[in-house]
Amino acid sequence: MESLRRLRVFSGALHGSRAFTGPTSVMIDICNRCNFRCSLCWYHSPFLEHDDEWRKKVLDFDVLEGTIDELTDLGVQEIQLTGEGEPFMHPRVMDVIRRIKSRRLRLQITSNGSFFDDGIVSEIVDLGVDELSISVWAGTEEGFVGLHPGSSAKTFDVVVENLHKLHQAKRQQGVDLPKTRIVNAICTTNVREIPEMIELGERVGADEIYFRFGGITPGVEFLSLTEEDVRYLKELLPSLVKSREGKRPETNLGGNMLDLLDTGDFDRNYLHGLADQIPCYVGWYFARILVDGTVVPCCACDDSKEMGNISRQRFRDVWNGERYQEFRKRAMGSLDDPYFEGCGCLSTCPHYHSNAAFHGRAPVRMSNRLRRR
């Protein structure tokens, strides 16, 4: 069954514009509201300008309910609840989670971890939510408060306590899910806390600690890593990676972070010159639904890439509509195309690693024919 689905996905790429099955994974932004104001946050940083109306938006449950069913029928495998706010501030978040799990879809949720009371934790574990990524961005109370203006040490303690609760609930029920991944976006404020971030992950029984360089939006340049930070990291990482060998939780510190440091351009999180070496396949394996129902093909493209809207159309009609087909065709061509202005393909493609994995997994005879047209 799965191999048939994969074949259909690759057949779409070979066709060049149509899709013969639904996307593998769909990211749904259910809520723009957030109770935190993390300094580095792309959307809610107190150092950026905000539109208060935008900040109140939530995706209508009735629209979402039908779309989840439709996505299941289209063969979608995974839903990611993340977006531009805190998913657990959606008034019906547990109904959303129940619906997704009742359709046996894989569910990954990205959260700040501050809302996990006993009831939520026990239901998340019971329902078999597959993965929780919790953005902590700190290893100590001081570090947390430094990067979350307006918060107190107590807020950090609540998040840590909630991570403990999750671990305990999993142990009590004898299950491995949800996999818990602590996410740390690194900037100059928290770069010296990496060892404490790892200790925290150990204490709360996290499955993985994921580090990435913080994306620096205009307005928070003062959070960029300094030359001294870079020197510190270059010294720290090799020994830290060695000392973590075979230990849990796993970290991605042995990945390409050191190489990225040499580029001086960290927030793209992949190396220069790679994105345009392979076609962009995102139009076959991924879609994102924004909080107002707009469907976009990629996390980096601006409003000009609206493919349709689930408040007015069925997802399947958007997915194989003219706009989507044009996007797919062009994404197999040059990323220098003015069509991609506003996508940042060659500077900050967030799907580079998935595109590379897709390219690498294509059946050999197919991959010979999959190249930029």
Ligand X SMILES: C[S@@+](CC[C@H](N)C(=O)[O-])C[C@H]1O[C@@H](n2cnc3c(N)ncnc32)[C@H](O)[C@@H]1O
Give the footprint of ligand X on this chain (CB under 6 A).
Answer: 34, 40-43, 82-84, 86, 110-112, 133, 135, 183, 185, 212, 214-215
Q: Which does 214 bind (CB under 5 to 8 A by kind): ligand X, ligand SF4, none?
A: ligand X
Choose one: 40-48, 164-172, 193-201, 242-250; the region binding ligand SF4 (CB under 6 A): 40-48
Q: How far is the CB of 355 from ligand SF4 (least distance, A)?
A: 6
DSSP 217: -
CB-nearer residue toward ligand SF4: 230 or 346: 346
At position 203, the amino acid (one-letter code) is R
Q: How far is the CB of 129 from ligand SF4 (least distance, A)?
A: 18
C-alpha 237/C-alpha 235 separation (Å) is 6
Q: Residue 243: what are its φ and ψ, rounded to 5°?
A: -70, -15
Q: Does 90 bind ligand SF4 (CB under 6 A)?
A: no
Using CB under 6 A, pick the residue from 34, 147, 160, 220 that binds ligand SF4. 34
CB-nearer residue toward ligand SF4: 66 or 333: 333
Choose one: 51-59, 190-198, 313-321, 340-348; the region binding ligand SF4 (CB under 6 A): 340-348
Q: Which does 331 bind (CB under 5 to 8 A by kind): ligand X, ligand SF4, none?
A: ligand SF4
Torsion of CA 310, 316, 321, 324, to 10 degrees: 80
Q: Does 36 bind ligand SF4 (CB under 6 A)?
A: yes
Q: Does 38 bind ligand SF4 (CB under 6 A)?
A: yes
Q: Does 47 bind ligand SF4 (CB under 6 A)?
A: no
Q: Kindly report the CA angle at 282 between 70 and 305, in degrees rounded to 5?
A: 80
Question: Tokens standing for 243?
Answer: 């000392």
CB-nearer residue toward ligand X: 8 or 212: 212
Using CB under 6 A, pick the residue from 71, 343, 362, 370 that binds ligand SF4. 343
Q: Residue 158: what are its φ and ψ, rounded to 5°?
A: -65, -45
Q: Minimal CA–CA distance to 343: which of 308, 305, 372?
A: 305
Q: Minimal CA–CA distance to 2: which of 16, 21, 27, 18?
A: 21
Choose one: 172-180, 199-207, 261-269, 339-347; the region binding ligand SF4 (CB under 6 A): 339-347
Using CB under 6 A, pick the residue from 166, 290, 349, 362 that binds ligand SF4. 349
Q: Kindly report the CA angle at 364 between 362 and 369, in degrees rounded to 5?
A: 80
Could you tell me the strand order of the sheet in which 106-111 lies?
A: 250-251, 208-213, 179-186, 131-135, 106-111, 78-82, 25-29, 286-289, 294-296, 308-309
Tell me if 146 sits within 8 A of 173, measured CB to CB.
Answer: no
Q: Spell out where the chain has E strands.
A: 25-29, 78-82, 106-111, 131-135, 179-186, 208-213, 250-251, 286-289, 294-296, 308-309
Residue 178 φ/ψ region, left for φ over 0, alpha for ψ in the -120 to 50 degree band, beta for the rest: beta
Q: Which does 351 bind (CB under 5 to 8 A by kind): ligand X, ligand SF4, none?
A: ligand SF4
Residue 187 φ/ψ region, left for φ over 0, alpha for ψ in the -120 to 50 degree band, beta for the rest: beta
Choose one: 46-54, 213-221, 259-267, 274-282; the region binding ligand SF4 (CB under 6 A): 274-282
Classified as helix, coil or strand, 103 is: coil
Choose one: 90-98, 172-180, 193-201, 295-303; the region binding ligand SF4 (CB under 6 A): 295-303
Per-residue binder mask for ligand SF4 (CB under 6 A), 129-158, x = binder: ------x-----------------------
Q: Which does 183 bind (CB under 5 to 8 A by kind): ligand X, ligand SF4, none?
A: ligand X
Residues near ligand SF4 (CB under 6 A) are: 34, 36-38, 41, 43-44, 85-86, 112, 135, 275, 280, 282, 298, 300-301, 331, 335, 340, 343-345, 349, 351
